[in-house]
Amino acid sequence: MSPEKTNVVFILTDDQGIWAAACYGNPEIRTPNLDRLAAEGMRFERFFVATPVCSPSRATLLTGRIPSQHGVHDWIRGGNVPPDYAEYIRDEVCYTDVLAEHGWRCGISGKWHLGASQLPQHGFCHWYVHQQGGGPYYDAPMVRNGQLITEPGYVTDRITDDALAFLDAQANGDAPFYLSVHYTAPHSPWEHHPQEIVDSYDDCAFTSCPQEPRHPWATGLTDRCLGNLEMLKGYFAAVTAMDHNVGRILDRLEERGLREDTLVVFVSDNGFSCGHHGFWGKGNGTEPRNMFENSIRVSFIASQPGRIPAGVVQRAMVSAYDFMPTLLEYLSLPIPEGRGIVGQSFLPALLGQADAAREEVVIYDEYGNTRMVRTAEWKYVRRYPDGPDELWDLVDDPDERRNLIADPTQQGRIAELRALLEEWFARHVDPQADGRNLPVNGEGQMRPILPGWDDGSEPFYRPA
């Protein structure tokens, strides 16, 4: 199939650590279908989110823009459903807008969590989404045909059922389709998952999730979960149940004769730690917020037989803000102009070609007043206005155990990395959406950063 007719299935998980898949080196967790997808395509080892928390990361994947441009800085706490619903990325151009404009039929099944959940947005003609961003796995609050419903059954299965129905409806059509399958798994709660899967981890030693001494910055989630075997079993079970459903999607594509005509992408919205470094959570699993590798680095697998090389492990440094331009170039579609898109296409790397530009890539992250610059060898974390800051040698200390920020021999390097970081953000930040100037506290964003929403009637954040 030509790029102009290529279908896309985009599978996005929630809070899945890069370590939580067998194909990424974990011998304990069972993910046979992710392993199958990786064997059929390309597995990226260094794919980074732009923010280590869900909603801003999702907005960046869709738009190619950073939080200090699109204005989503934390998970969406307010504005998901009436009476206070709000479109957080109302004025953005998403890649789904471009696809729909050029003839793709776009559907979403699962988590949206970018506001106004009852309202189909950004080119989607099929809209089955979670009302909020998470919640119970049985009897989940969902939106179908614009109505708020309670969905019976296990929500991971129900999301897949809906996705397969959309896939079947499009299979014989003349138009290509795009399908977002956005699982809430393996986000908490880590209780009430299929019991046979939970029980199958009874004898697991969980050496892949060392329950280290409590980190001094750890938040309340750590106090509930650290050292709790049932929480570990639930997390692993949520991943394995999700993996089973990924297999259902791959099988249906094959049954319909669509596998070679379809790009399948698998990625998570942010990383996660389950006891690593002594805390449970992602970027807001600590206070101050963190930029540990387990928070910012995620699984990314892409496969289309006959176009993407099979069984390849890709070491290129790639960010979530690179995804939009890459996907559009892959489909021979135009990249929106005048949007300040910071990402650069990594299509040559995806196709297995030499890409010298990727050898010099530097990754940037932000979460409120916490910003990061990461090269292949070093990571510098700056917390405005006055720290605490961090410098990590990722060659000699890949597990980030020795903070070198006070090392007198590293002060020149720190100055260079700080200048790099500050110049990049100064070049790209929209002053009206600058996260450095907003009270981003990890407890959820209450309203959009948009004209008409800044009248002070609702605080940007409020305590949980």
pLDDT per residue over 372-381, tens digit each?
999 999 999 9
Q: What is the gyration radius of the CA atoms in the chain, in angstroms? A: 21
In 389-453, beta strands by DSSP E: 390-393
Give the per-residue pLDDT at 464. 36
Asked, as a colleague might, if the bond just before 83 is cis with ω within 30 of 0, I would say yes
What would the two tokens of residue 178 be? 């795009």
Query: For residues 347 and 207, what is the distance between their CA atoms, to the nearest angstrom?
Result: 36
Give the per-residue pLDDT at 460. 57
Mean pLDDT over 217-230 rounds to 97
190-195 contacts at long range (C-beta below 8 A, 24 or more positions apart): 190/225, 190/230, 190/231, 190/232, 190/233, 190/234, 190/235, 190/237, 190/238, 191/230, 191/234, 192/136, 192/137, 192/138, 193/137, 193/154, 193/234, 193/237, 193/238, 193/241, 194/154, 194/237, 194/241
Q: What is the largest CA-CA distance in the chain?
A: 65
User: Domain 3-353 is of which CATH architecture?
Assistant: 3-Layer(aba) Sandwich (3.40)
252-291 pLDDT, tens digit per residue, is: 999 999 999 999 999 999 999 999 999 999 999 999 999 9
Helices (H) and strands (E) in the chain, counts: 12, 17
DSSP letter assigned to residue 108: E
186-212 pLDDT, tens digit per residue, is: 999 999 999 999 999 999 999 999 999
Give the per-residue pLDDT at 357. 76
Q: Are 137 and 153 in contact (CB under 8 A)?
A: no
Q: What percent of the chain has pLDDT over 90?
A: 92
Is the confidence at residue 328, as pLDDT, over 90?
Answer: yes
Question: Sign of the CA dihedral 86, 91, 97, 101?
Answer: positive
* Residue-range domain boundaries for the chain: 3-353
How far lies 291's CA from each of 31, 285, 391, 419, in Å? 26, 10, 11, 19
With tokens 């880590």, the residue in question is: 190
Average pLDDT, the chain: 95
Give 356's pLDDT tier (boundaries 50, 70, 90): confident
